[in-house]
């Protein structure tokens, strides 16, 4: 998982999404702001697919630069499940 992304319209690094090998699917991806409010949620998505990721918006508005917390539940190629958490910086 990357630790920064910049949804600023320049076409580079615009979307935050799960990436990697050995991953069959993403069961759930949730992103929260610093106050614990969920600002993004997606379930049953494919890894390495930018169209399934977060574009930095909540309720249609681009959120301010800040650090957000993510939780991802991953189904591996060997059918095992791994939960990962971390943070991502939204920059412009």
pLDDT tens-digit map of 19-63: 888 999 999 999 999 999 999 999 999 999 999 999 999 999 999
Residue 64 above 90 pLDDT?
yes
SS (H, E, C) the chain: CCCEECCCCCCCCCCECCCCCCEEEEEEEEEECCCCCEEEEEEEECCCCHHHCECCEECCEECCCEEEEEEEEEEECCCCEEEEEEEEEECC
pTM of the model: 0.91
- The third-level CATH classification (topology) of the domain covering 4-90 is Immunoglobulin-like (2.60.40)
């Amino acid at each position: 998982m990357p630790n920064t992304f910049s949804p600023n319209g320049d076409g580079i690094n615009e979307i935050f999404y799960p990436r990697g090998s050995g991953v069959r699917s993403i069961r759930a991806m949730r992103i929260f702001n610093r106050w614990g409010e969920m600002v993004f949620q997606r379930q049953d998505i494919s890894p390495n697919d930018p169209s399934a990721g977060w574009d930095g918006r909540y309720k249609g508005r681009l959120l301010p630069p800040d650090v957000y917390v993510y939780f991802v539940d991953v189904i591996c190629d060997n059918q095992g499940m791994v939960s990962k958490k971390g943070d991502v910086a939204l920059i412009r």
